[in-house]
Structure 1
C-alpha cells in the first residue's frame, strides 16, 4: 500500500474528506522504537477533536487519534455490486437493529433488551435472536419486569427461527400486533433509478412527534406510489426542524426520538424542500453500515405524491451509500403498507423474511 511521495510518508487527507473511502497508516498501540504501523481502510465518518473515526466494510468503527497518524490517502470506491445481496436472516436482523440503536440496552443471554422512552418498537423491544440462556418462562418474567421498571409495555421482536418462542407467546396470552417485511436489493441499480436528482451533500460532522407510549408504528414506507419526475434532494448529517415537521412517526421531536434517529454507524438524512414556509415535500433516512445501506423514514407530502419524490430521495441516499463503500440495501416495511410495498417492488426489493412484534398481557407488566 503506497503512502509515500519521494520515499516519505505523507498524510493526504483532511477533515474535508469525511464521507470518502480512505486508507490510513498509524502508529500501533504501544509502538516502540521500531515504530510498528497499523493500516486501516474504510469510510472516514468523522474527524473531530483530534480523533478520526473510520468505518470498515464489516461495520466496525476504528478510532484513530490524530497524533498517531503517519500517512493517509483517499482510495477508489470498492467495486460496485449490481446483483441482489446474499445474506442470512441473522445478519439482516443485526443490521436492522444497528440502524435503530436504543438509548438503553441489556443482554439477556443471546437476547437483547432495548428501551428508548417508547419511541419505535424497534428500539423498545427485546430482540429474541438466539437463546435467552434460561427457561423461557423465567426469561419472559425478566422481560416484563425490565420494561415495567421503565414504565413501558413489554414487546418482543421475534426473529426468524423463533417459531417455538412465538408459539409459546401465543399460549401465554401475548398479542401479535405487527407483521414486518425485511426487504433487500442491490444498491447500485437503486442509485441509478433517478439520474436527475442532484443531491447537495453536506459532509459536516456525523451523528454520533414523540411516538405514542405503546410504540405503535413501524417505519420504512411512503404513503403512495411514485411515478416519474424528481425534485432537488439535499443530504445532511443531522436532522433539522423542517425534516422533523414532515416525519409522521413522532408527534414531537423528543430527545429519545432524536437520539435514535441520529444513531447508527454513518447516518444521512434527505430532504426535498417544500414551498416557502411549508414542511419538506419529501424526506428519507439512510444508515450506512459496512456493506449495508438501511433505508427508513421515506415520507412524501400527500399533495406532492406521484412526482417521483420517494424514488429521488432513495436514489440520492443510495449514491451517498455507494460512495461510502456499501453495496446492498435493506429496509423494513409493514405488511399492510401496500403502497410502500408496491413502490419497493418496482425498485427491485425482494422480501427476505418476515418478523413480528408481540406485546405482553397487560397484567404481566404490573
Structure 2
C-alpha cells in the first residue's frame, strides 16, 4: 500500500484551497501524537485568516497566534463568514493618548527623543513619519527646542514639520511657531465603534482578501510612494510597522468566472494579476484599530469597495479584541470625509502640521 499522503484538496471535507488565501476559514488538523488514554488521533480546530498555503503547509492567523499546519495533516476546512462583531462603544480617550497610539501604528524609520517630544524621519515618506510629535515638555526653552528641530531635519534634507495637538502640546508652542512664521495644515482625527462599520460592508466583505504583507499588487495601487528607491524602502518599513498590521485588497470583479483556473480569471496561473480594485490597511493596538491607505481605482469607485475593505478590516480587528476604530484625514479631503461620515466616524479632535520656514 502506498504511503503517499493524500493531497488536502482531494479530501472531501477540505473545501478550501490555495485560492482562498486571505479569507477567513475554519480548519481541522490531526495532531502527531495520539490520545494516550484511547489511542485515537487527536484533532485540533482553528478559525482565522488563511495567510499562506504551499505544497508543504498552510498558515492560519487566529485571534492571537499563527497556526502552521502540515498540508498532509489537514482533514477539514471551509470558508466561514467574517467575525460577528458585537456592539460596543470605544472608551473615551484623551487626544494625546490617541496620538501616541497613532504613532505606534505608523512608526518612523528613525526616531530621536527631545525631552518628551519625538523627532521622526522616514526619507520624506508622509508627514506623519517625518514630523515631531510635540506631546509634553521638550526639556528646553521652546525657541531652542525649535532650533534643534530645524537643524535635525536640515541635516536630513527634510522640511521641519511639527505635529501640534491641543490639548497635548506645550502652552506657548503655537505662539512661538507664529513668531517664526510657520505654515499650518489641519488634520481631523475621527473615531467610530467597530460593530456598525463591520456591518456596513458585510455583504461584500467576502470579496476582500487579507494579508500580513503588502505585496507588489497592493503597492501598485498605493499612491504615496514614488520611484525613489530610498523612499520606497522607508515606505515598506513604515507600512509594515505596528503591533498587528493587516492589508486588505479586492481583486476579482464578481462578473468574472469563479473558477480560478479559468484562463480569463485574474488569478489564473499564466495570467499576470492586475492591480487590485481597492486596498486598505489596518493596525490593531489593544482596543483601537487604525484605518488608512484606503484607495479605489477610479473606474471601480461608487461600488461600495472602500466600505467592503473597511468592513473586512473592522471584523478582523474586532476578532483580535478591538472595539473602536480611528483614522486621520486632511481637513480638505471632502470625498474621504463624506465616506467616513457615512460609516459612522465623528471627529474626536484635530491637530495641525506646522512647517518651520528654513533658516
Question: Who is 1:164 aligned against?
Answer: 172
2:262 is aligned with 1:262: no
Change (3 A) 1:131 1:18: farther
Shift of residue 83, structure 1, vs aligned partner: 2.4
Deviation sequence 1:294-337 (CA, Å, 0-9, x none): 00000111111110000000000001111111111000001101
Deviation sequence 1:104-123 (CA, Å, 0-9, x none): 10111110011111101111
RMSD: 2.7
Q: Is the 8 A contact 1:85 1:185 kept in 2?
A: no
Shift of residue 19, structure 1, vs aligned partner: 3.7
Give the counterpart of 1:314 among 310, 316, 326: 310
Change (3 A) 1:83 1:105: same
What is the alpha-carbon distance in structure 2 between the residues aligned to residue 87 and residue 78 of structure 1? 25
Unpaired runs of 5+ residues, structure 1, are 22-42, 49-76, 200-231
Question: Who is 1:184 aligned against?
Answer: 191
Shift of residue 274, structure 1, vs aligned partner: 5.5
TM-score after normalising by structure 1: 0.69
Give the counterpart of 2:103 among 97, 103, 109: 97
2:200 is aligned with 1:193: yes
What is the alpha-carbon distance in structure 2 between the residues aligned to residue 341 and residue 241 of structure 1? 28
Unpaired runs of 5+ residues, structure 2, are 1-34, 37-41, 47-56, 69-82, 254-265, 267-272
What is the alpha-carbon distance in structure 2 between the residues aligned to residue 335 and residue 198 of structure 1? 28
Shift of residue 84, structure 1, vs aligned partner: 4.6
Which sits farther off after the overlay, 79-88 or 257-266? 79-88
Give the counterpart of 1:242 among 217, 223, 229: 217
Deviation sequence 1:248-282 (CA, Å, 0-9, x none): 11224710011101110010000011674532111
Change (3 A) 1:141 1:192: same
Larger radius of gyration: 2
What is the alpha-carbon distance in structure 2 between the residues aligned to residue 355 and residue 170 of structure 1? 16
Change (3 A) 1:280 1:16: closer
What is the SS of the residue equivalent to 2:203?
A: coil
Shift of residue 193, structure 1, vs aligned partner: 0.9
Which sits farther off after the overlay, 113-122 or 157-166? 157-166
TM-score after normalising by structure 2: 0.70
What is the alpha-carbon distance in structure 2 between the residues aligned to residue 119 and residue 340 of structure 1? 21
Change (3 A) 1:142 1:166: same
Question: Who is 1:341 aligned against?
Answer: 337
What is the alpha-carbon distance in structure 1 between the residues aligned to residue 61 and residue 323 of structure 2? 15
What is the SS of the residue equivalent to 2:204?
A: coil
Change (3 A) 1:198 1:345: closer
Question: Who is 1:326 aligned against?
Answer: 322
Q: Is the 8 A contact 2:85 2:195 kept in 1?
A: no
What is the SS of the residue equivalent to 1:140?
A: helix
Length, aligned pairs only: 274
What is the SS of the residue equivalent to 1:245?
A: helix
Shift of residue 90, structure 1, vs aligned partner: 1.5
What is the alpha-carbon distance in structure 1 between the residues aligned to residue 85 and residue 188 of structure 2? 29
Shift of residue 17, structure 1, vs aligned partner: 7.8
What is the SS of the residue equivalent to 1:98?
A: helix
Aligned 1:210-229 pairs, distance under 5 A:
none
